[in-house]
Amino acid sequence: MVKLLPGWLPSFDYEYGTPTNLYLADGTFAGICERGIRTGDVKGPALFCLPLHLQLQALKELHPSVDVLAILDDITLHGEANEVLRAVDSIKVLLTDIGCTLHDDRGGKNKIFCMDPLANLETNMTIVSDGIEVVGCPIGKKS
């Protein structure tokens, strides 16, 4: 935040500097929100992406031959298969630094798209060769 949007600091401190009481629609006290981006905050997606952006920049520095594309938390890595797998290992570590986790295979959604069906890739992720969806757009056959 300080590096990327220093002008937002006063607003961020005002909105997130102290815990906020939460109430139900009828006014009943429901609890206290002490961390995280608050639902309904129009700056929420940007606030979520700031630390993620810095980690993706670090990933690109570690793996310059891997293309990194992200829309919010939908991250696509493109490159030589084994280098992409090494980048996946790196992003797992980088994400833990900001309190996030990459699951190896979230219900089959995290996939390795490899056009060579004979490639010997060691991963827990699903390997597909007939198409994949990248940031919502199908590539190859229907994925």
CB atoms < 10 A from the CB of 75, how many? 19
Tens-digit pLDDT string for the chain (143 aa): 667 778 888 887 888 888 888 889 999 999 998 877 777 778 778 888 888 899 999 999 999 999 888 888 778 888 887 888 889 889 989 988 888 887 665 555 666 666 565 566 666 666 666 666 666 677 776 54
pLDDT at 143: 44
| N-terminal to C-terminal alpha carbon distance within the chain | 37
pTM of this structure: 0.66
At residue 119, the pLDDT reads: 61
Of residues 133, 124, 85, the one with CA closest to residue 105 = 124
Are residues 126 and 111 in contact, defined by beta-carbon separation less than 8 angstroms? yes
- Helical spans, DSSP H, in 1-143: 9-16, 44-62, 81-96
Q: What is the DSSP letter of 18?
A: S
